[in-house]
Amino acid sequence: MNWKRSAFAVIAAVPVIALLANGMGKDPSQIPSPLPGREAPNFELALLDPAVLGRPASSGAAASGSEIPTVRLQDLKGQVVVLNFFASWCLACRDEHQPLTQTAAAYEGRGVKFFGVAYNDKPADSRRWIAQMGGQSYPALMDPGSRTAIEYGLYGVPETFFIGKDGKVAFKQIGPVNAELLTQKLDSLLAMPDPAAPIAAP
Amino acid sequence: MRLAAAAALLFASASIAQSQAQPDAGPDALRAAPANAADSAIERQVHRLAGELRCPVCQGLSIAASPTELSLQMKGVIREQLRAGRSPDQVKDYFVEKYGEWILLEPKASGFNLAVYLLPALVLLLGLVFVIVMLRRWTAASTDETAEPLDDRVHVPDLR
């Protein structure tokens, strides 16, 4: 009689313990994003500093008339895009700035485009911060009203999105990136064939 | 929810009072009146939806209850989409698409989530059955086996 009771207690406790173990093994601050695997939301954002673009204007920057040049994601199909949301008030962004700007420079001309997107930041503050950090090898974009941030399901900075040649979000990094992660993700994304362009020259 | 609705009503009445306080505005004010009514209806919907969505940068707060910049911007997105003629459900789906179901403060009653809704009732029912069974046993024991409690009474004074 007694062993039956204890067996029942054990059987009843197992699902409860399993549920708790499952729940406590998760980090509640890591919100699972539904975006990876889906089409990256399109955006058209103005450059924080048009002069930063530096290199040839063919790099996705559509200078429409005399307006401030903007960058549209749909113009970058066939390239790997790294979208880094940052802010001048974000401490962790300072840690990842060096690896980002160095990796962006290292992959220059290899079909990878890096963009910073200022999140809830004043343009003047973003500019000053980039200057303080010793410049940036890739352009920064402004996101007034955080519309693009919300489109990407952002809940904090830094967050970095890796968009493949097919225009789909391949990976989302919550928190700062490092050089190792950047090269690993970029190499695997560059190794993938471009579905949009058959053997035609660009 | 009720608080949000009350706030919306208060806001609506305040804006009506404001428009009434300027009788010299002329025909423009008259033309603006129906737009105001539509605005306050949308504003009510914005507050209702904002109360159902979780603020991504807070701990367990809705975007209606949160004063953060992102929450205000998300409310702006809700407002824009409602004005563009989207239904409240479509607006909710937009945020679910971007943030996942996590964004909903109240989980959808389907799939595994059903456990959240059914388990409490089930446990309550089991508890009720348990109490009834135990009560029956105890009452049966006290009427049938009177010897045991009597035995206790004999032993207790012995110990002292």
Q: For residues A21 and A25, what is the distance between their CA atoms, to the nearest angstrom?
A: 6
Look at residue B32 and tell me whether its pLDDT is greater than 90: no
Q: Does B74 touch chain A (CB under 8 A)?
A: yes
B103 in Cβ contact with B96 (< 8 Å): yes
| Distance, C-alpha B76 to centroid of its chain | 22
Distance from CA of A4 to the nearest CA of B (A): 17
Q: Does B70 touch chain A (CB under 8 A)?
A: yes
Distance from CA of A58 to the nearest CA of B (A): 30
Residue with tokens 């005399």: A66
Q: Out of B76, B96, B98, whose CB is closest to A145?
A: B76
Percent of chain B with pLDDT over 90: 40
| Distance, C-alpha A162 to centroid of its chain | 5
At B125, list the tokens: 């029912």
Q: Do B74 and A150 touch (CB under 8 A)?
A: yes
Look at residue A31 and tell me whether its pLDDT is greater than 80: no
Q: For residues B97 and B53, what is the distance between their CA atoms, to the nearest angstrom?
A: 13
Which residue, among B70, B94, B101, would best test binding to A if mutated, counting the most A CBs under 10 Å from its CB?
Answer: B70
Helix (H, G, I), strand (E, B) or coil at B106: coil
Which residue, among B99, B112, B123, B130, would best test binding to A if mutated, counting the most A CBs under 10 Å from its CB?
Answer: B99
Contacts B73 to A, Cβ<8 Å: 145-147, 150
Q: Out of A32, A145, A151, whose CB is closest to B98?
A: A151
- Render pLDDT for A96-112 as a digit per residue (tens, 0 to 9): 999 999 999 999 989 99
The percent helix, strand, coil of chain B (3-state, each to 5) is 80, 0, 20
Q: Do A31 and B74 touch (CB under 8 A)?
A: no
Q: Model ipTM? A: 0.76
Between strands A112-118 and A80-86, the pairing is: parallel
Q: Where are the alpha helices (DSSP H) in chain A?
A: 2-24, 92-106, 123-132, 147-151, 179-191
The band of A182, judged by pLDDT with boundaries at 50, 70 and 90, is very high
In DSSP terms, which residues pair with A161 in a beta bridge? A83, A172
- Render pLDDT for B37-51 as a digit per residue (tens, 0 to 9): 778 888 899 999 999
Largest CA distance in chain A: 88
Q: Do B102 and A145 touch (CB under 8 A)?
A: no
Contacts A146 to B, Cβ<8 Å: 69-70, 73
At A19, list the tokens: 């549920």
- Render pLDDT for B68-117 as a digit per residue (tens, 0 to 9): 999 999 999 999 999 999 999 999 999 999 998 889 988 887 778 888 88
Q: Where are the alpha helices (DSSP H) in B22-105?
A: 27-52, 69-83, 88-99
Q: For residues A45 and A72, what is the distance between their CA atoms, to the nearest angstrom?
A: 7
DSSP letter (8 states) at residue B64: T
